[in-house]
């Protein structure tokens, strides 16, 4: 990414694109948490990619290309009773009908353990490539980089 832009440096017409790109990443988080793979894959181009890196990984541990593969990737969430992806700051570079961005996220995953419940929390940075097609934005590539993860006992009030 290039140097960040200040408020007065962002072209007026770009604000709408930035709002739509933020909504795209928010919709991704919502669809993942609700286990709606058809909504998740609709946010990607037909040949879109999802790449998953663990802490310190240079190369992805897993990669999925195309909507059917991305839908299959989401089946791994079935082992969790609940997930919550909290989307935080987002930096974008928009150039016409293409964009790149980095979005931070804290993802919490609740699961049952023999002794009760545990929570697995990840600090994620998504490195995204987007394209505007048919008047709306889609992911062409979503690279998930886990910076750190924590797994600890959890006492949920409602699961």
Reported as a single tens digit per residue, the pLDDT across 31-53 is 999 999 999 999 999 999 999 99
The fraction of the chain above a pLDDT of 90, given in percent, is 83
**Residue 3 within any structural domain of the chain:** no
Q: Give 155 or 80, the one with higher predicted confidence.
A: 80
**Residue 87 within any structural domain of the chain:** yes
Print the domain residue range for 53: 13-154
The pTM score is 0.89
**Residue 2 within any structural domain of the chain:** no
**Residue 42 within any structural domain of the chain:** yes
Residue 77 in contact with residue 83, Cβ under 8 Å? yes
**Residue 39 within any structural domain of the chain:** yes
Looking at the structure of the chain, the number of domains it has is 1
**Residue 8 within any structural domain of the chain:** no
The CATH number that applies at residue 114 is 3.10.450.50
């Amino acid at each position: 990414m290039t140097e960040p832009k200040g408020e007065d440096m962002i072209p007026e017409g770009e604000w709408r694109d930035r709002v739509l790109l933020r909504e795209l990443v928010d919709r991704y988080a919502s669809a993942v948490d609700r286990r709606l793979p058809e909504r998740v894959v609709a946010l990607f181009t037909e040949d879109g990619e999802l790449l998953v890196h663990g802490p310190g990984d240079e190369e992805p541990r897993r990669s999925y290309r195309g909507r059917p593969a991305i839908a299959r990737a989401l089946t791994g969430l079935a082992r969790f009773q609940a997930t919550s992806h909290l989307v935080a700051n987002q930096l974008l570079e928009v150039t016409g009908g293409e964009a790149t961005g980095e979005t931070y996220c804290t993802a919490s995953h609740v699961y049952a353990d023999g002794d009760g419940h545990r929570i697995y929390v990840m600090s994620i940075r998504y490195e995204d490539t987007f394209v505007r097609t048919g008047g709306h934005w889609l992911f062409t590539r979503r690279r998930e980089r886990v910076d750190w993860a924590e797994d600890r006992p959890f006492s949920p009030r409602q699961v």
